[in-house]
Chains A and B, each alone.
Chain A
Amino acid sequence: MYSLYREPGVLLWRGFTMQEFANQCFGNNIGHGKGRQMPIHYGSKKLNYITISSPLATQLPQAVGMAYSLKMDKKDACVVAFFGDGTTSEGDFHAALNFAAVMDAPVVFICRNNGWAISTQVTEQFRSDGVVVKGQAYGIPSIRVDGNDALAVYNVVRSARETAINEQRPILIEAMTYRVSHHSTSDDSTKYRSKDVIEYWNTVHSPITRLRNWVERKGWWSDKEESELRIHTMKQVKHAIDEAEKEEMPLLRDMFTDVYDDLPSNLMEQETLVRETIQRHPKDFPKDMPL
């Protein structure tokens, strides 16, 4: 899995626990990430989820490379690469698609076209008919799906995966949706779009509401179960946050490890020097520094 930064749901589905999410966000000692990466830049080797990288679209040629290596190894597997509408403007997106096509790489490109890249609407991002035609232009079988229809997306992705593996070729899926939230916690999107529009998409076309209605009509769900699940999940999240906050910060040693495979001598010297300095001048350093 090569994600952008709006796919923690995928990771959650694979088995990343609430606690692990919280640990990563808090950058504490027990998070797998050793406090190295920013919040929401998750990763898990165990779950085959590549650690999120911030620069946009760089993960796409890398996904193709990984797919090619799966192909060489004749594995019954493919790579899935997620990205948004904005990312399709980056040069790496075009390089990735072109290479995937030419190399017959088993990769499924999934574009979450949610209409916005921070404050830039898709009409200012590109003038093509969305992203699906770009896949076609590179010779990749491409399909557009209603991204707010959970069942449709499920069917499309399942079919895409089969095709990618059985036919050893790339597929592009453009999932149409709408970004109801702000771009991030540093953004207030009401500054550049109306609250009514956000409200509309959040209620009328909400994928959660639509799936829930369908499930309830089948008799598999009820209001009571809904509220129980919500309460339970809120507790889970709060518990995870509380636990994560209690944990210690990463050890000093973790500042120097993993720069290279082996700890080089200059970093070992630096670490020794830092420890000596902290010992000699303890008042210059914060008290909560786990050594």
Chain B
Amino acid sequence: MWGILRQKAGGVTGLSSQGLGNQMLRLRPVASAMRSYSSATKEMTVRDALNSALDEEMAADPNVFVMGEEVGEYQGAYKITKGLLDKYGPERVVDTPITEAGFAGIGVGSAYHGLRPVIEFMTFNFSMQAIDHVINSAAKSNYMSAGQINVPIVFRGPNGPAAGVGAQHSQCYGAWFGAVPGLKVLVPYSSEDARGLLKAAIRDPDPVVFLENELLYGESFPVSAEVLDSSFCLPIGKAKIEREGKDVTITAFSKMVGYALKAAEILEKDGINAEVINLRSIRPLDRATINASVRKTNRLVTVEEGFPQHGIGAEICASVVEDSFGYLDAPVERIAGADVPTPYAANLERMAFPQIEDIVRAAKRACYRSPMAANAS
């Protein structure tokens, strides 16, 4: 029924995007339904967005505390926790020895007792040394204890590739954590995402894996007064349509949202009107928004930096095939990182991750605008 409504509504020009949004997704709180930044006078970096979100949540709830390597005295390996030690003291901003398994385990234990830890992994690549605590304890305890032990913990840190950091610092763990029931997995892109989703994560009673991106920390985005308010919060499990379009749907998360938007601009010049969806949440995945979009555009391109096999794109493709098969006019195009451990050399690294041109070509393929040799172009 949604598909039909979409098609009807989509055919009527002059309907504002806002109206459409409110009609289709009436469960969405008013806050995130407002796409236009009516009073966007301020710009904020993602780093400051995360920092302010942590600051506000720590001020609001004395149970919230931060723990990790270099988070206190050093102001954070990437300065996300800057100023927090001075403001809240060493009891609430805890510098730890180099023991991921240790502090992840300690965090989980403290969460069992009712504290609300925010555990920082210097990079999620190092979470591998603590992954048992995240999966076997944090994710599964509420279920295994029949609801008696909930784990209001947040694991956060940079995820995926930065620039020139090699195989052990570049893997995207979205697919791995996204596969586990019991976890929530969030992937902010803009400063608004960073603030709203981190606050939501901290307030959430369930364990949340919060995947940031090192290269986004320094990027600035406009933020409205509403986003800057300390009560601002984004719902978990809702994707955002960053750019409306009618010809092809492009799903992306984290840094790839920026790339997808740039690709959309290039595609516009070639007469292809792309809709870009910022996933914001890998688990729960907003299948409703994705499917509604594909039912409107009939074509899908998924973008991610992680390895292709068993990746986010694979799940999205399966979901669309299950729910909206009849609406697809072309096979789903899946763009992912190369199936190799990330090389360090700059030229090889560039080839190992999606570039804007790759997204443009895939969208054209999906729109049958390029020569259809098997898998080519």
Q: Name A residues whose Cβ lies closer than 8 Å to a Cβ of B.
A: 27-28, 33-39, 41, 53-56, 58, 86-87, 89-92, 117-120, 124-126, 191-192, 249-250, 252, 254-256, 259, 266-267, 269-270, 273-274, 276-277, 280-281, 284-286, 288-290
Q: Given the complex, which residues of B lie within 8 Å of A270, measured CB to CB?
A: 338-339
Q: Are A267 and B97 in contact (CB under 8 A)?
A: no
Residues of B within 8 A of A259 (CB): 339-341
Contact A119 B73, CB 8 Å, known A38-B169, A41-B166: yes
Cβ of B95 under 8 Å from chain A: yes
Q: How far is the CA of A34 from the CA of B102 in the complex (A)?
A: 36
Give chain B residues whose Cβ lies under 8 Å from the Cβ of A285: 357
**Cβ B98 vs Cβ A125 within 8 A:** yes
Evaluate whether A36 and B102 lie within 8 angstroms (CB atoms) in the complex, with A124-B97, A249-B348, A255-B352 already known.
Answer: no
- Flag whether B376 is at the interface (Cβ < 8 A): yes
Query: Which of chain A's residues has its CB closest to B170's CB?
Result: A38
- Name the distance in Å between A91's Cβ and chain B's nearest Cβ: 5
Is the CB of B351 closer than 8 A to any CB of chain A?
yes
CA distance A162 to B373 in the complex (A): 66
- Nearest CB of chain B from residue A186's CB, rounded to whole Å: 9
CA distance A285 to B375 in the complex (A): 19
A289 near B347 (CB under 8 angstroms)? yes
Q: Is the CB of B98 within 8 A of A250?
A: no
**Chain B stretch 128-176: residues in CB contact (< 8 A) with chain A:** 128-129, 164-169
| Distance, CA A51 to CA B102, complexed state (A) | 27
Given contacts A36-B344, A119-B74, 6 further A-B contacts (CB under 8 A): A35-B345, A36-B341, A90-B129, A270-B338, A276-B376, A277-B377
A268 to B311 CA separation, bound complex (whole angstroms) = 21
Question: By the criterion of a CB under 8 Å from any partner CB, how many residues of chain B are at the interface?
Answer: 41
Is the Cβ of A118 less than 8 Å from the Cβ of B338? no
B126 near A254 with CB under 8 A, answer no
Between-chain CB contacts (< 8 Å), 26 pairs: A27-B345, A28-B345, A36-B345, A36-B348, A37-B166, A37-B167, A38-B165, A38-B169, A39-B344, A53-B168, A55-B126, A55-B128, A86-B98, A119-B74, A120-B97, A120-B98, A192-B74, A249-B345, A255-B338, A255-B343, A266-B339, A270-B338, A276-B377, A284-B357, A284-B361, A286-B350
Q: Would A54 and B74 be within 8 Å (CB), given that A91-B101, A259-B340, A280-B377 are in contact? A: no
Chain A residues with CB under 8 Å of B377's CB are 276-277, 280-281
Give complex CA distance A276, B371 in Å: 13
Partner of A118 from B74, B340, B351 at Cβ < 8 Å:
B74
Across the interface, do B343 and A35 meet the contact criterion of CB distance under 8 Å? yes
- Among the listed B97, B168, B169, B344, which residue makes an inter-chain contact with A27, where contact means beta carbons less than 8 Å apart? B344
Whether A36 contacts B74 in the complex (CB less than 8 A), given A91-B99, A124-B95, A255-B348, comes out as: no
> Which residues 108-129 of B sit at the A interface, judged by CB distance below 8 A?
125-126, 128-129
Contact partners of B344 in chain A: CB under 8 A: 27, 33, 35-39
A270 to B166, CA, bound (A): 20
In the assembly, what is the distance between CA of A91 and CA of B128, in Å? 12
- Could you tell me the distance between the alpha carbons of A273 and B98 in the complex, rounded to whole angstroms? 43
Residues of chain B contacted by A120 (CB below 8 angstroms): 69-70, 73, 95, 97-98
B339 interface neighbour in A250, A267, A280, Cβ under 8 Å:
A267
How far, in whole Å, are A37 and B169 apart by their CA atoms in the complex? 10
Decide: A38 near B164, CB < 8 A? Known: A89-B99, A249-B347, A255-B351. yes
Query: In the complex, what's the smallest C-beta–C-beta distance from B375 to chain A, in angstroms?
Result: 6
* Chain A-chain B contacts (Cβ-Cβ < 8 Å), number: 133
Could you list which residues of chain B lie within 8 angstroms of chain A, going by C-beta atoms? Answer: 69-70, 73-74, 77, 95, 97-102, 125-126, 128-129, 164-169, 338-341, 343-348, 350-352, 355, 357, 361, 375-377
**A contact residues around B126 at 8 Å (CB):** 55
Given that A192-B74, A274-B351, A289-B347 are known contacts, is A117 also in contact with B98, CB under 8 Å in the complex?
A: yes
Q: Is the beta-carbon distance between A254 and B348 smaller than 8 angstroms?
A: yes
- Report yes or no: B376 in contact with A27, Cβ–Cβ below 8 A: no
* Top 9 closest pairs, chain A to chain B, by CB: A35-B345, A89-B97, A284-B357, A27-B345, A38-B166, A119-B74, A249-B347, A54-B168, A89-B99
Report which of A36, A125, A126, A286 forms a contact with B347, defined as CB distance below 8 A: A286
Contact A125 B165 (CB under 8 A): no
For residue A280, which residues in chain B have a CB less than 8 angstroms away from its CB? 376-377
- Measured between C-beta atoms, what is the minimum distance from B169 to chain A in Å? 6
Are B98 and A267 interface neighbours, CB within 8 A?
Answer: no
Interface centre among B69, B95, B166, by most chain A C-beta atoms within 10 angstroms, is B166
Residues of A contacting B350 in the complex (Cβ-Cβ under 8 angstroms): 286
Q: How far is the CA of A28 from the CA of B102 in the complex (A)?
A: 38
A284 partner residues in chain B, CB cutoff 8 A? 355, 357, 361
Chain B residues with Cβ under 8 A from A256's Cβ? Answer: 340
* B70 x A118 contact (CB < 8 A): yes
- On whether the beta carbons of A267 and B346 are closer than 8 Å, the reply is no
When chains A and B are docked, how far (Å) is the Cα of A69 from the Cα of B55? 52
A-chain residues with CB within 8 Å of residue B375 when the two chains form the complex: 269, 273
How far is the CB of A46 from the nearest CB of chain B, in Å? 21
Contacts of B129 in A (CB 8 A): 55, 58, 90-92
Q: Looking at the assembled complex, report how far the CB atom of A273 sits from the nearest CB atom of chain B, in whole angstroms.
A: 6
Instruction: Give the complex CA separation of A36 and B355 in angstroms.
Output: 20
Which residues of A sit under 8 angstroms from B100, Cβ to Cβ? 90
Q: How far is the CB of A246 from chain B (nearest CB, A)?
A: 15
In the complex the two chains form, is B376's CB within 8 Å of A273's CB? yes
Query: Which residue of A38, A89, A119, A281 is within 8 Å of B357 (Cβ)?
Result: A281
With A54-B166, A54-B169 as known contacts, state yes or no: A35 contacts B70, CB within 8 Å: no
| A residues in contact with B166, CB < 8 Å | 36-38, 41, 54
CB distance from B260 to the nearest CB of A (A): 16
Chain A proximity of B363: nearest CB distance (Å): 14
- Selected from B345, B348, B361, the residue in CB contact (under 8 A) with A281 is B361
Which B residues touch A277, using CB under 8 A?
361, 376-377
Residue of A nearest to B342 (CB): A36
Rounded to whole angstroms, the CA-CA distance of A89 and B165 in the bound complex is 24
Q: A89 touches which one: B102, B128, B164 (CB < 8 A)? A: B102
Q: Who on chain A is nearest to B347 by CB?
A: A249
